[in-house]
């Protein structure tokens, strides 16, 4: 009966069988946290807890599917069917569809993705006559999202003096008005964005005690994965739901808290013992993933953080190779070094390409690595690139589905009212939008009697608008009587979308036609698999399909053709994944840690946690790469090794030159290794300076006999000469001693930041 417990180590077993009261499971990288969560749910079911009384929350659909599959291997599938298991957003959307009347929404509310929200914000900026240079769409969206994650509604925003003060300082005094208008338009459209799914769930529970009590009574046991990634809204909802039974089990790792830019709060996991004084803690410290060397190297790094829960991660695996630090002369050479090493390892060790990952701090770094892989014919997959459901032809069809189910969805209507072309131009659409805004109603209502709302419309225009409305009404009339597949087929055939691409023999047209076919295939698979949520069968299949698509993440789109390719991704995207061989690219000051994260010790600690996450993705080998020069804004800039490399215990490192036996400063490999391994103070962060020139000219040849002046004599304002870049003017001096850094403007190559110890500058007397 309890045989599955034998597969757990002692501390895992203790965490699983502790079912009463608040439980904090600190799960180090590769320590089997998913196993603990799945076995704990299985244990609860075996103890007689009904599946519907268990709420299990994850951050990706993929994680939820994997957990459900594992539980079904331990228990009977019919027992697990009623489990409330999924992402925060998907399960809260499920609750909101059930309780929508309490918050003034219909069951068929639309979920806006980031493209939809940006489109709506652009419309609002246009209507309010605000300059999108002063109010960048991305910044407006970030501000609204941040407010919602702090549970600040549009109505309460104007009374938040600290938020208004920040807006005034940023010279965006109309941010409050934008937020209020955005919230009103979403409600008028019967739509919620991702953040609304959290905010509205909190407001639902806060303002409706009887509804809250019903869910408190239902969810006797609540389990949360990756608790360190929760934001304030998620944290607040969990505390409301757990208030009655207090059986809240959270699993996470404070050392892997890397999403503060999304609103995640490391304080949620650090302060769990304060929120729940009767808590019990279990530390999963054995790493089953990585070699001993990788684990101990990562430990030596993360020890530098002050805000952390003490733990000692260890591994019983083989010792393994040292962590390699490979320097290249340029970022181009860095890319070729990585691709060459991947190819060599693939051939020599018979390693599949899927075992390799190249991780980087920013998306922009992928270009050089991608080019290097292409030249070596290495198959690769870039995570974070445009997903299938973001392609235009797919978004267009999904907009039809959304408008069919929710006539109030203005963003979908505007997208498809003239697709395929039906003679409804931009001027007509602008007049429709203006009329709807003045009448404070959705555009759909205007379509019911277009001339009454817009007298300027002639008979021909009005007829086209009425025909479009009738077309959508015909689809809506059958939406509740056919499954999602049949509705989709009728839409792509009845609207003329298939005909639009069927006879387009261009490569682009063929690709779009094939994508539409794949969409239809995906809907068919969805229908055939059936609705996993049996008690919600009253919702149409298309409702559920659209919700699943809206809440998908990049990792959920795992296609068979991508499964034996090298993974190129940001470190943020790699969290939760593992690979045999990991390359961490661009580990340099100003890049990693990011120049935007040098403002405080707290920000540097998060950057260090990010580097820790990168290292611990690897099972067999880690290679850290960096370049000595890198183009930034069109200018070739000298680069410094990241402080994080020096924070790793040198006994776990080996330094190579990426194929170059000497670095820019002329040091031998032995000297370079000594520089990496010798302790020295962390240099102060350099100020981020955008180069003046973005057109670098030809560089003069390096004079090997060039005699430089004493670096200590170089001062701000001096005119100097450099053996490669020629004459320049010193704009700024930062740092002390061996860490003195000069920002120098060169006529041909713009601003450069040079470490004076190695810069070989000569003062020009004037």
Using the 8-state DSSP alphabet, how is residue 631 labeled?
Answer: E
- Among 601, 582, 604, which residue's Cα sits nearest to residue 593? 604
| Whole-angstrom distance, CA of residue 625 vs CA of residue 608 | 16
| Whole-angstrom distance, CA of residue 726 vs CA of residue 701 | 10
Pair type for strands 618-632 and 635-638: antiparallel
Residues 6+ apart with CB under 8 A from 483: 527, 541
Which tokens belong to 330?
């340029």
**198-229: burial string, b at 16+ Cβ within 10 Å, e else:** bbbbbebbeeeeebbeebbeebbbbbbbbbbb
**654-691: burial string, b at 16+ Cβ within 10 Å, e else:** ebbbbebeebbeeeeeeebbebbbeeeeebebbeebeb
| Whole-angstrom distance, CA of residue 212 vs CA of residue 362 | 41
| Whole-angstrom distance, CA of residue 3 vs CA of residue 74 | 10
**Entry field: residues in the chain:** 766
* Alpha helical stretches, state H, 47-104: 61-74, 77-80, 88-98
Which tokens belong to 752?
């450069």
Which tokens belong to 418?
């003239």
- Among 615, 634, 633, which residue's Cα sits nearest to residue 623? 615
Kindly tell me the burial class for residue 756, based on how many C-beta atoms sit within 10 Å of its own C-beta (0-12, 13-18, 19 or more): buried
List, by residue number, the catalytic residues.
33-34, 225-226, 256, 617
- Among 189, 105, 97, 62, which residue's Cα sits nearest to residue 554? 62
């Amino acid at each position: 009966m309890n045989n599955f417990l034998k597969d757990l180590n002692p501390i895992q077993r203790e965490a699983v069988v502790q079912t009463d009261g608040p439980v904090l499971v600190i799960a180090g990288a590769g320590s089997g946290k998913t196993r603990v969560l799945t076995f704990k749910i299985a244990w609860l079911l075996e103890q007689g807890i009904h599946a519907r009384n268990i709420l299990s929350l994850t951050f990706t659909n993929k994680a939820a599917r994997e957990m459900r599959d594992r539980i079904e291997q331990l228990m009977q599938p019919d027992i697990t069917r009623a489990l409330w298991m999924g992402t925060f957003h998907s399960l809260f959307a499920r609750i909101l569809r059930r309780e929508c009347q309490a918050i003034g929404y219909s069951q068929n509310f639309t979920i806006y993705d980031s493209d939809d929200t940006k489109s709506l914000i652009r419309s609002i900026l246009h209507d309010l006559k605000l300059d999108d240079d002063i109010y960048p769409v991305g910044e407006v969206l970030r501000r609204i999202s941040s407010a919602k994650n702090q549970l600040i509604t549009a109505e309460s925003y104007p009374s938040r003096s600290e938020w208004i003060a920040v807006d005034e300082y940023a010279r965006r005094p109309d941010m409050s008005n934008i937020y209020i208008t955005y919230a009103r338009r979403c409600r008028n459209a019967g739509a919620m964005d991702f953040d609304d799914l959290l905010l509205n769930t909190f407001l639902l529970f806060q303002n409706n005690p009887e509804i809250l009590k019903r869910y408190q009574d239902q969810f006797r046991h609540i389990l949360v994965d990756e608790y360190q990634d929760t934001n304030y809204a998620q944290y607040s909802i969990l505390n409301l739901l757990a208030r009655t039974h207090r059986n809240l089990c959270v699993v996470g790792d404070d050392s892997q808290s890397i999403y503060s830019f999304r609103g995640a709060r490391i304080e949620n996991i650090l302060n769990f013992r304060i929120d729940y004084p009767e808590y019990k803690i279990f530390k999963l410290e054995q790493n089953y993933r990585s070699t001993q060397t990788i684990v101990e190297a990562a430990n030596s790094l993360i020890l530098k953080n002050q805000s952390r829960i003490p733990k000692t991660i260890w591994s019983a695996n083989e010792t393994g190779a040292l962590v390699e630090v490979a320097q290249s002369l340029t970022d181009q050479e860095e890319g070729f070094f990585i691709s060459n090493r991947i190819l060599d390892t693939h051939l020599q060790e018979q390693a599949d390409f899927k075992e390799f990952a190249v991780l980087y701090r920013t998306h922009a770094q992928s270009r050089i690595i991608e080019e290097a892989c292409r030249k070596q014919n290495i198959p690769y997959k870039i995570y974070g690139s445009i997903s299938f459901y973001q392609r235009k032809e797919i978004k267009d069809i999904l907009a039809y589905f959304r408008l069919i189910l929710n006539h109030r969805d203005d963003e979908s209507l505007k997208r498809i009212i003239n697709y395929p072309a039906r003679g409804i131009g931009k001027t007509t659409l602008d007049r429709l939008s203006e009329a709807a805004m003045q009448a404070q109603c959705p555009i759909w209502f205007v379509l019911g009697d277009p001339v009454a709302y817009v007298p300027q419309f002639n008979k021909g225009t009005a007829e086209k608008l009425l025909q479009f409305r009738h077309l959508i009404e015909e689809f809506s009339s059958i939406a509740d009587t056919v499954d999602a597949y049949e509705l989709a087929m009728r839409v792509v055939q009845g609207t003329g979308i298939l005909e639009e691409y069927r006879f387009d023999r261009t490569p682009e047209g063929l690709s779009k036609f094939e994508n539409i076919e794949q969409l239809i295939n995906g809907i068919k698979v969805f229908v055939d698999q059936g609705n996993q949520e049996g008690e919600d069968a009253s919702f149409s299949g298309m409702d559920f399909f659209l919700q699943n698509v809206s809440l998908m993440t990049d990792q959920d789109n795992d296609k068979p053709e991508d499964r034996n390719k090298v993974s190129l991704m940001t470190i943020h995207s790699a969290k939760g994944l593992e690979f045999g061989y990991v390359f961490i690219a661009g580990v340099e000051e100003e890049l990693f840690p990011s120049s935007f994260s040098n403002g405080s010790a707290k920000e540097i600690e998060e950057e260090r946690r990010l580097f820790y996450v990168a290292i611990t993705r690897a099972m067999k080998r880690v290679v850290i790469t960096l370049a000595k020069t890198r183009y930034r804004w069109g200018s070739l800039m000298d680069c410094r090794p990241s402080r994080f490399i020096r924070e790793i215990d040198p006994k776990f490192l080996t330094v190579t030159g990426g194929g170059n036996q000497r670095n820019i400063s002329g040091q031998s490999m032995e000297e370079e290794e000594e520089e990496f391994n010798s302790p020295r103070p962390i240099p102060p962060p350099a100020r981020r300076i955008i180069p003046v020139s973005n057109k670098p000219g030809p560089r003069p040849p390096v004079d090997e006999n060039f005699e430089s002046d004493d670096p200590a004599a170089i001062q701000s304002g001096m005119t100097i000469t450099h053996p490669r870049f020629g004459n320049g003017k010193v704009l700024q001096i930062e740092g002390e001693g061996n860490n003195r850094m000069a920002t120098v403007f060169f006529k041909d190559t713009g601003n450069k930041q040079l470490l004076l110890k190695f810069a070989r500058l000569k003062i020009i007397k004037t």
